Amino acid sequence: MRVVEVFGDVACPFTYVGLRRFADAIQCHGAAVAVRVRAWPLEWVNGRPLDPDHVAREIEALQASVAAGFFAGVDLARFPRTSIPAFGLASAAYGRDDATGLAVSLRVRTALFEEGADVTDRGVLRDLGAPYGVEPVDDGTAAARTRADWEEGKRRGVVGSPHYFVGGHDWFCPGLRIEQKDGRFAVAVDAAASDALLAEVLQ
């Protein structure tokens, strides 16, 4: 079975859009692929929590170009200051199997960006994991597992969120061409990168 590893942050809009589209493409092709979504904690990379205003500009650019139907219920007024608890839930899901891990990784992001859920709240995470038979882990375990992924990502040269690895090749944010000027973002489809990733996965 082909294995795809994706390093990304739960609270990264680009990761959310890209991961949903990638999962849909794999399902459409009926491919037997294990997608392992690993933690890339931007709050540690940047040395501070994600700025909701910055996230809002990313979302605005995505909605204006490639993701008009996304982010319907995001609540930027209480945007999470940390992704570590959500990373912990996803890691527990991967402890069951790859399919559960991917499902929970997507579910947490959908809850954040489409339902305005507080994915730092243990009760919310318990509810999100329950349909999959997954319980949140404690804060120390979540941090330790996140750090292990972060260190592995640094070792492998991850440059940002999301960064995909498969078959000896890697792509940063495949499928999206992102430009930033004067604090504003412009996003366009990068079909060549997206097609190259999918071709590598399906071979």
- For the chain (203 residues), the mean pLDDT of every run of 10, in chain order, is 96 96 89 94 98 95 93 94 98 98 98 98 98 98 98 98 96 90 83 90 86
What residues contact 40, with CB distance under 8 A and at least 6 apart?
7, 8, 9, 149, 150, 153, 158, 160, 161, 162, 163
What's residue 34's pLDDT?
96
Hey, how many other C-beta atoms are within 10 angstroms of the C-beta on 70? 18
- 86 φ/ψ sector (left φ>0, alpha ψ -120 to 50, else beta): alpha
Angle at CA 109, nearest 5°, toward 103 and 113? 145
What's residue 72's pLDDT?
94
User: 46: helix, coil or strand?
Assistant: coil
Domains of the chain: 2-202 (3.40.30.10)
At 94-112, the pLDDT tens digits run 999 999 999 999 999 999 9
Closest to 92 in 3D by CA, of 108, 115, 81, 113: 108
Length of the chain: 203
User: 188: helix, coil or strand?
Assistant: strand
pTM: 0.95
Residue 115 identity (one-letter amino acid): E
Exposed e or buried b per residue across 180-201, where buried means at least 16 C-beta atoms within 10 angstroms of its C-beta? eeeeebebeebeebbeebbebb
What residues contact 62, with CB distance under 8 A and at least 6 apart?
13, 14, 17, 70, 71, 187
Q: Which two tokens stand for residue 129?
A: 């994991």
Residue 33 identity (one-letter amino acid): V
At 148-176, the pLDDT tens digits run 999 999 999 999 999 999 999 999 999 88
